[in-house]
């Protein structure tokens, strides 16, 4: 592969792809050569602010060109990157900044109606390590705020540092140094900081690009948030490695996405199944003839969705994949796999991973060079997650077929016991996605005096009744798996990574 650090990959992309379009964000259109120049400028600006090699830089921005420049510039300067979930509250963000000992923060001054930095200040939290705050105005003109610098001011600081210093820093970055600390989504308790090395970030992105056969001819709409490995590693870094054009979308808006697909001749659209459900649901789709590759993943990707994505959206290749923050991408389907395999499995091992099923009910464990380095300042949690033989315990339950294709059947923590039988909600959800009218579904266990727990299905859809949903399940599932209750919602609560927040559903389970 050659390049095994992010700075080397950025330089290599400029050398290989030159003025070919690297990034399109509104009126900003940059070639790979110009992207390298911007990254070098930001690296010098961070150096001017006192950021040293090995320091941490936090980025709390939506998917914009600023995120790309800030993140790659921090890595080029020898710092480690802490992407911050833009949906986090100020308290959650402060927790990350404190635990990550962030030296600098690049933050949106105005996003979704909130001044992120003002909210952080209002917490009154002491942030002794945080020496620099760069406020990025996304909608309104910048107004100075004491103790912070604006984006243009920040870029101007680069003049204080000679270009040779930034290049020397980039040269000094080693493949085994920490490139990023991604915090888990915290769906089950406090989030944990996952440490990855430069070589790991590069290798998983290269494996993803290889499975999707991504090339410099592709134009890639990045809907997945950059703060998530799907948007950053399988998005930005994939672009750098292949020469594909990255077109970020700050907030998923189905009509804006369809316009972008037509205007920019988008060929690659990864996303959660709900993204494709939304695209299919929209009556006016425009010209989608440029679409080539869709990559999705979840415990439930209905076969009917795969078929409709082919016939109605025109994707020639649809791949499902399985990953987690601690390993990024573990398995993936390959072009040419039949639709049934794509719908019913998450494909085969990639990126040097071994995949096995351990114990009963069958936890998915993975091992290989791209398993995380560990959790930030938490050796106990690291030892619990990665055993002495190097196997990462994912907490997911699954099965492997003879060819090594992985089927996810649920989460250990989501499992409930009905009348002495284990029920995995993913299996019930998968069945329900085949019921016409169901757009989205989540199943949780709720207390029952006689059976211990029974299923309750939360359904997003039209023209359905509780009786119809239960009757549909009875025809397809064992009695103990059939939900006893059904609630209809306008949408399921999800975190920014697209995962359903089942704890919010269990809180209203009556």
Domain end among 170, 189, 208? 189
Domain residues for 488? 416-507
Domain end among 411, 436, 451? 411
Residue at 50 is within a domain: yes
Total Cβ atoms within 10 A of residue 365: 21
pLDDT at position 510, please?
Answer: 41
CATH of the domain at 163: 3.40.50.980
Residue at 500 is within a domain: yes
Residue 178 has pLDDT above 60, yes or no: yes
Instruction: Provide mean pLDDT across the span 313-330.
Output: 95
Residue at 198 is within a domain: no
Indicate the pTM of the whole model.
0.88
Are 185 and 285 in the same domain? no
Are 179 and 297 in the same domain? no
Query: In 3D, which of 483, 433, 504, 489 has the Cα closest to residue 459?
Result: 489
pLDDT at position 1, please?
Answer: 44
pLDDT tier, 410 (very low <50, low <70, confident <90, very high otherwise): confident
- Could you give the CA distance from residue 351 to residue 343 in angstroms, rounded to a whole number? 21
Are 421 and 376 in the same domain? no
pLDDT tier, 360 (very low <50, low <70, confident <90, very high otherwise): confident
Residue at 201 is within a domain: no
Least confident of 59-63, 459-463, 496-500: 496-500
Residue 124 has pLDDT above 70, yes or no: yes
pLDDT at position 508, please?
Answer: 63
Residue 179 has pLDDT above 80, yes or no: yes
Instruction: Provide mean pLDDT across the span 67-83.
Output: 98
CATH of the domain at 355: 3.40.50.12780
- Could you give the CA distance from residue 16 to residue 33 in angstroms, rounded to a whole number? 9
Residue at 213 is within a domain: no
pLDDT tier, 361 (very low <50, low <70, confident <90, very high otherwise): confident
Pairing of strands 149-150, 132-136: parallel
pLDDT digits (tens, 9 = 90+) for 254-300: 999 999 999 999 999 999 887 898 899 999 999 999 999 999 986 66
Are 374 and 427 in the same domain? no
Are 404 and 431 in the same domain? no
Asked if residue 252 lies in contact with residue 113, where contact means CB atoms within 8 angstroms, the answer is no
Are 265 and 355 in the same domain? yes
Are 94 and 137 in the same domain? yes
Residue at 245 is within a domain: no
User: How many domains is the chain built from?
Assistant: 3
Domain end among 392, 411, 430? 411
Residue at 483 is within a domain: yes
Are 360 and 440 in the same domain? no
Are 390 and 463 in the same domain? no
Residue at 360 is within a domain: yes
For residue 498, the 8-state DSSP code is S
HEC string of 316-339 equals CEEEEEECCCCCCCCEECCCCCCH
**173: cis peptide before it, omega within 30°?**
no
Are 274 and 399 in the same domain? yes
Are 398 and 276 in the same domain? yes
Mean pLDDT (the chain) is: 92
CATH of the domain at 465: 3.30.300.30
- Could you give the CA distance from residue 441 to residue 458 in angstroms, rounded to a whole number? 6
CB within 8 Å of 510: residues ≥ 6 apart? 446
Query: In 3D, which of 201, 230, 236, 193 has the Cα closest to residue 70?
Result: 236
Are 264 and 346 in the same domain? yes
């Amino acid at each position: 592969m050659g390049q095994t650090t992010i700075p080397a990959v950025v330089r290599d992309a400029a050398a290989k792809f030159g003025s070919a379009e690297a990034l399109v964000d509104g009126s900003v259109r940059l070639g790979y050569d110009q992207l390298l120049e911007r990254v070098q400028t930001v690296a010098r600006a961070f150096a001017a602010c006192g950021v040293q090699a090995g320091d941490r830089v936090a980025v709390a921005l939506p998917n914009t060109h600023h995120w790309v420049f800030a993140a790659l510039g921090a890595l080029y300067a020898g710092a480690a990157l802490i992407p911050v979930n833009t949906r986090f509250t100020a308290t959650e963000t402060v927790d990350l900044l404190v635990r990550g000992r962030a030296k600098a923060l690049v933050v949106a001054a105005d996003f979704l109606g909130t001044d992120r930095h003002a909210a952080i200040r209002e917490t009154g939290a002491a942030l002794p390590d945080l020496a620099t705050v760069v406020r990025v105005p996304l909608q309104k003109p910048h107004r100075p705020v004491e103790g912070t610098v604006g984006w243009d001011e920040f870029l101007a600081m680069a003049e204080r540092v000679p270009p040779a210093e930034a290049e020397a820093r980039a040269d000094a970055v080693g493949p085994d140094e920490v490139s990023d600390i991604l915090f888990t989504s915290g769906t089950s308790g406090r989030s944990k900081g996952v440490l990855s090395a430069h070589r790991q970030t590069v290798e998983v992105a290269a494996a993803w690009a290889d499975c999707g056969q991504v090339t410099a001819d592709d134009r890639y709409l990045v809907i997945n948030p950059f703060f998530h490995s799907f948007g950053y590693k399988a998005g930005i870094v994939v672009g750098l490695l292949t020469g594909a054009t990255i077109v970020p979308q700050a907030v998923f808006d189905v009509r804006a996405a369809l316009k972008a697909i037509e205007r920019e001749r988008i060929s690659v659209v990864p996303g959660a199944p709900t993204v494709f459900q939304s695209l299919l649901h929209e009556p006016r789709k425009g010209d989608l003839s440029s679409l080539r590759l869709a990559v999705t993943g979840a415990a439930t990707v209905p076969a009917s969705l795969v078929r409709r994505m082919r016939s109605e959206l025109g994707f020639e290749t649809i791949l499902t994949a399985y990953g987690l923050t601690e390993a990024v991408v573990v398995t993936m389907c390959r072009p040419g796999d039949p639709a049934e395999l794509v719908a019913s499995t998450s494909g085969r091992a990639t990126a040097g991973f071994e995949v096995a099923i351990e114990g009963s009910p069958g936890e998915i464990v993975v091992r290989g060079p791209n398993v995380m380095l560990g959790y930030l300042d938490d050796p106990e949690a690291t030892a619990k997650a990665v055993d002495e033989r190097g196997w990462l315990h994912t907490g997911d339950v699954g099965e492997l077929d003879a060819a090594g294709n992985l089927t996810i059947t649920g989460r250990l923590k989501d499992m409930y016991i009905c009348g002495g039988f284990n029920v995995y909600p993913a299996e019930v959800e998968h069945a329900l996605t085949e019921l016409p009218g169901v757009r989205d579904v989540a199943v949780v266990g709720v207390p029952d005096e006689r059976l211990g727990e029974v299923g309750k299905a939360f359904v997003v859809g039209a023209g359905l009744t509780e009786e119809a949903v239960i009757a549909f399940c009875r025809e397809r599932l064992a009695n103990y798996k059939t939900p006893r209750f059904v609630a209809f919602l306008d949408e399921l609560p999800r975190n920014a990574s697209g995962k359903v927040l089942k704890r919010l559903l269990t809180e209203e389970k009556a």
